[in-house]
Structure 1
Amino acid sequence: MGPIKSDASNLTSSACTRKTFTIELMSLAVENHPQTRSQLAHLTAQLDTFRQAGTFFRLRELEDIQGPVCTYDGRKVINLASNNYLGLCNHPKLEEAAIQAIKDHGVGSGAVRTIAGTMRIHMELEEKIAAFKNVEACVVFQSGFSANAGTVSSILGKEDFILSDELNHASIIDGARLSKAKIKVFRHKDVAHCEEILQEIANEPGKKLIITDGVFSMDGDIGPVGELAALAEKYGGIMMVDDAHASGVLGRNGRGSVDHFDVHGKVDVQVGTLSKAIGALGGYVCGSRDLIDYLYHRARPFLFSTSHPPSVAATCIAAFDILENEPDRIQRLWDNTAYFKQQLAHSGFNIGGVNTPASETPITPIIIGEGRKTMDFSKALFEAGLMATGIAFPTVQEGKARIRTIMTSEHTRAQIDQSLEILTTTAKTLSIL
C-alpha cells in the first residue's frame, strides 16, 4: 500500500461546501446565543479539568464509508478504531437488503413495538437470531446498551443479588443500579472469588444473577463463561453474558461465547449486538420464551422506544446469512489479528499481560499508562495517517490509559504493515518505545 495522502485535495468539492456551511452555521449560533449560563458553570469547570489533564477530545467526522481505510476530518487514514470486525458496514448484500426493505416497508415503523410498531420483518429478524443462537426466542432492542440495562433492571429487584465482574461494561453497571438489587463485585475473571461471594449469600433470600462480558471491550480478553455457568448451576443462580464483542467473532460462524465454551442451555440470558460485527445497529437478548415474553412486558427501553426502521432489520437478517455462508471472513479476522499482535509484541509494545489482562481477541490495547501521553500519541498517529483511539480514565483505571486497536477481516497485509510502521515510528518519536 502506498503512502496515505492527507492534504485537502482528498476532500470532494461537495464535502468542502458542506464543511463551509457547517462552520457558518456554528458561527451564527455563537453570535445568536450567549455563552454557558452560570447555572451550568460546573460543567465548564469540569471540562477545564479534562483539558488540563490532556483528555479532552472532540468528535472526529467520518466523511465516507466505514472501512479499513477511510476519511476522517479531511484526512485519509488507516482505520484501527472501528468495531466493523467483518467489514459488513458496506457489504453489497446488506445494502441491497436495506434498499429493498425501504421500497417494501418505508423508512420507519411509526410506533413502539407494543402499540403498532412491530412489523413482520422485526419478527423475522428475531426468529433468525434465535435459530442462530440455538435458543427458544429473541427480542431486539434499539442498542446493545439498552438491551443490557433494560434486561438487568427488569428481571431483578431489591431483594436480589447481582454478582458482576469488576470490568463489566457500563451498561451492565447501570442496569444493576437501576434494578436496586444488591451488587457484589468479584475480581476480574476470578471464578473462585465469585464462588466465595455465592457462599456468603447462599442463605440470603432473593435470586442470584452472575453476569460477565463474553469479551471485555477494553482489554480484549475472554470471560470465563463456562466456569461461571457451572457456578450458577451449582448454586441455583441465573447466568447472563454480554456478548457484544463476541458476536460474530467467537464460536462457530460467530455464534459467541456460549458456543465457544459449548455451554448451550446453561446460560439463561445472552445479550448480543447488531452494531459491531453485524455491521448495523441495535442489540438483542436471547433465552427462553418466557424470558422474552417477560421483557416484552417489563423492559422499559423496549416498551418506550420506537422500533427499528425496516431497513435496519433487513440489513441484520442479511448479515446473519453472511455469517452462515462466509466463514472465511472470520478466519481472515483471526489471521490478521494473530499477525498484528505478533508484530506489535516484537516491536516492544505492551499489549497487555503486564499488570493488565492479556488480549485474546481482535481488540488489542497498547498500554501507555499516563492519560495525557496516550492522547498525545493518538493525535500524533492520526497526523501520520493512522486512526487509533486513545482511551483514558474514567473509561479505564488511572495509570492504565491505552491506545485501543481493533483488527478487521478486511485489512490487507500491506495496510497492517503500514499501521505497524506508523505506530513504531511515532512511538519512538514520542519516547514511548
Structure 2
Amino acid sequence: MLDEELLQERLEQYQPEPLVDTTNVKTKETIESYIINEDENNIDLAKTNFLNFLDHEEIKQSAENIIRKYGVGTCGPRAFYGTTDVHLELEQKIADFMNMEDSIVYSYGFVAISSSIAAYCKKSDTVFIDKEANFAIRQGLTASRSKFVEFNHNDPINFKKQVENVIKNERKPSRKFLIVEGISWKTGKLLPLEEFLKVAEEFKIRIFLEESYSIGIYGDHGRGLTEHFNIDPERIDMIIASLEAALGSIGGFCAGTHSIIEHQRLSGSGYIFSASLPTFLVQACIEAIRLMEDRPKKMKTLAKEFHLFLEETCEYKVHSDPESAFKVFTTKDETNRKEKEEEIHLYCKKNGVHFLKTDGGLVINLYIDLLDKKSRLEMAYKVLKEAADL
C-alpha cells in the first residue's frame, strides 16, 4: 500500500490531458450574432433552406394537425413509449425513397451519424476516412475507439494505397470500413463514388456513405449519389444523412438492409437513450419527401448558374461542385487571402447580401426560390460582383 505522503505526491504530479481542447474556445460574447430580416434590401444566403421547405405552408399546416393529435413530443426514447405510427411511416417512406430495405430515424442529425458509426465499428476494426471528414464522423470514431486511417480528399488512388499499406503491415486481419461523404461538409466537393466502390469491393471493405448534403439535391428525384451516378444502392452497406439540410426538419436517418438497421435498434446509443424525434417534425419530413417533385432539378439549374457566375463573372475561386447547393469560394489572389475574404464579406453584409465566413472560405447557401424571384438573384449577383472588384 502507498503511504499517505506518497499518494498525495503522485496525485499532485498527475496531469491528465483534457477531454476537450479549450484553447481556442470562443465565449458567447465574442461570437458575432445578428438577425437577418429578409426584405427588399436584405437577402439571407446564410441559413440552410435549399428546397424552400422551412416556411412551406402545406408542411406547416400538416405539422400543426399532428401537434393537435399527438402533442409536441413523446418524452421518451423510441423503445420506451417514444414510437408512434408516424415514426414508422417516415422510416418506411425513407426506405422506399432511397430504394433500400429498411431505415431508422434518429432525433438529431449529428447523433445519427456518430451513433450509427459507433454501433458497428469497434476497437479492433480499421476505418478509412477522408482527411476532410466532418466532425460527426470523427466523433463516431472516437466513441468506437477504432483505428482510423486517413486518405487524401476524394482521392480513390490514395485510398487504395492506404488499404494496401494497412493489409501489408497488419499482424492479423481486421474488419475494415470505408466512411465517405457524398458532398464534403467542408469543401462542397462531390465524391467520385464509383471509383471508391471499386476499391472497397476489391478488398471487401464495408461502405458507409454520409449524404447529408446530397439527399434532396443530387439525382432527378433527390435520392443522392446512387441516383446521380446510377449506382445500385445495394452496393452500399449503409447510407446516413441528416434531415436538417434539404428536408428542412430536425433529426437524421440510416438506410440499409433490414439486419443492418435492426442492429441499431439495440446498439445505436443515440436511438436507445435519446427522446424520440417530436412527431410534428417527423410529419414535416414526410411532407417534404412528398413535395420533392422537381425541386432537385431546379436546384441543379440554380447551382450551376450561380457557380458559373462566381467563377466567370466575379473570377472567384470556387471549391465546391457546380451542382452543390452550397458554394464554398474565395478570392483567386492568395496574397492576404483572409483579409480579402473579410473585406468581401463585410461589403456584402453592409449591402444586404448575408452569407457565412469560415476558416475554409466564404460559404453561400442557395435556395430554389431565387429562380422565381429574379430581382433577389440579380441583387446578389450585383453585390458579389462589386465586392470582387474592390
- Category of TM-score, reference length = shorter chain: 0.7 to 0.9
Q: Distance in 2 between matches of 1:148 and 1:342?
A: 32
- Residue in 2 that maps onto 1:123: 88
- Residue in 2 that maps onto 1:425: 386
Select which of 253, 258, 275 maps to 1:306: 275
TM-superposed CA distance for 1:376, in Å, is 4.2
Q: Counterpart of 1:426 in structure 2: which amino acid?
A: A
Q: Distance in 2 between matches of 1:45 and 1:255?
A: 38
Q: Distance in 2 between matches of 1:62 and 1:424?
A: 21
Higher relative contact order structure (alpha carbons within 8 Å, sequence separation ≥ 6):
2
Change (3 A) 1:100 1:160: same
- Residue in 1 that maps onto 2:228: 260
1:403 matched to 2:369? The reply is: no
Q: Distance in 1 between matches of 2:232 and 2:24?
A: 49
1:122 and 1:310 in contact (8 A); partners too: yes
Q: Distance in 2 between matches of 1:380 and 1:357?
A: 22
- Residue in 1 that maps onto 2:61: 96
1:157 and 1:181 in contact (8 A); partners too: yes
- Residue in 2 that maps onto 1:377: 344
TM-superposed CA distance for 1:43, in Å, is 6.1
Instruction: Answer with 213-222 or 241-250: which moved more.
Output: 213-222
Q: Distance in 2 between matches of 1:312 and 1:193?
A: 41
Instruction: Answer with 342-351 or 114-123: which moved more.
Output: 342-351
- Residue in 2 that maps onto 1:143: 108
Secondary structure, aligned partner of 1:254: coil
Q: Distance in 2 between matches of 1:200 and 1:293?
A: 34
Secondary structure, aligned partner of 2:187: coil
2:300 and 2:323 in contact (8 A); partners too: no
TM-superposed CA distance for 1:89, in Å, is 1.0
Q: Counterpart of 2:249 in structure 1: which amino acid?
A: A
Q: Could you list the per-position Cα deviations for residues 149-178 of structure 1 after superposition, in whole angstroms to 9, with x for gaps in the alignment?
A: 111112111110110011121111111122
Change (3 A) 1:375 1:305: farther
2:36 and 2:44 in contact (8 A); partners too: no
Q: Could you list the per-position Cα deviations for residues 108-161 of structure 1 after superposition, in whole angstroms to 9, with x for gaps in the alignment?
A: 112011211111111111110001001111111122211111111121111101
Change (3 A) 1:334 1:107: same
Select which of 227, 235, 252 maps to 2:195: 227
Q: Distance in 2 between matches of 1:320 and 1:47?
A: 38
Q: Could you list the per-position Cα deviations for residues 64-110 of structure 1 after superposition, in whole angstroms to 9, with x for gaps in the alignment?
A: xxxxxx27xxx952122222111011112211210110111111112
1:219 and 1:359 in contact (8 A); partners too: no
TM-superposed CA distance for 1:57, in Å, is 3.2
Q: Counterpart of 1:115 in structure 2: which amino acid?
A: F
- Residue in 1 that maps onto 2:34: 60
In structure 1, the gaps of 5 or more residues are: 1-41, 64-69, 397-401
Change (3 A) 1:298 1:142: same
Q: Counterpart of 2:35 in structure 1: which amino acid?
A: E
- Residue in 1 that maps onto 2:324: 361
Secondary structure, aligned partner of 1:116: helix
In structure 2, the gaps of 5 or more residues are: 1-20
Q: How many residues align?
A: 360
Q: Which TM-score applies when normalising by structure 2?
A: 0.86
- Residue in 2 that maps onto 1:415: 376
Equivalence map 1:266-277=2 (5 Å): 266-277=235-246
Select which of 248, 254, 265 maps to 1:285: 254
